[in-house]
Amino acid sequence: MTLDLASARVRAGFEEMPGMTLTMPQASRLFGLEPHVCEKVVEELVVCAYLRRTDRGGYRRVSA
């Protein structure tokens, strides 16, 4: 799976479930991604301000 496809899968998941907060291991399991791939995708989505890291270490979609 390419990183673009993995990124699209993660974005779709967060769009389907507004308000969802996931830890990195939860995201990896939910989206069916290897942990190192999931980490790279999630961090990329944080950099582009699609996701943000919460105070408790989870990841959540940035409100529009």
Model pLDDT for residues 8-24, shown as the tens digit of each residue: 999 999 999 989 999 99
The yes-or-no verdict on residue 64 having pLDDT over 90 is no
Residue 18: phi and psi, rounded to 5, are -55, 140
The confidence band for 1, taking pLDDT boundaries of 50, 70 and 90, is: confident
Please tell me the predicted confidence (pLDDT) of residue 54.
96
Q: What is the structure's pLDDT at 63?
A: 83
**How far, CA to CA in Å, does 51 sit from each of 18, 25?**
12, 16
Which domains does the chain show, CATH number per domain? 3-61 (1.10.10.10)
* pLDDT, tens only, 22-59: 999 999 999 999 999 999 999 999 999 999 999 999 99
How far is residue 55's CA from residue 12's CA, in Å, rounded to a whole number? 23
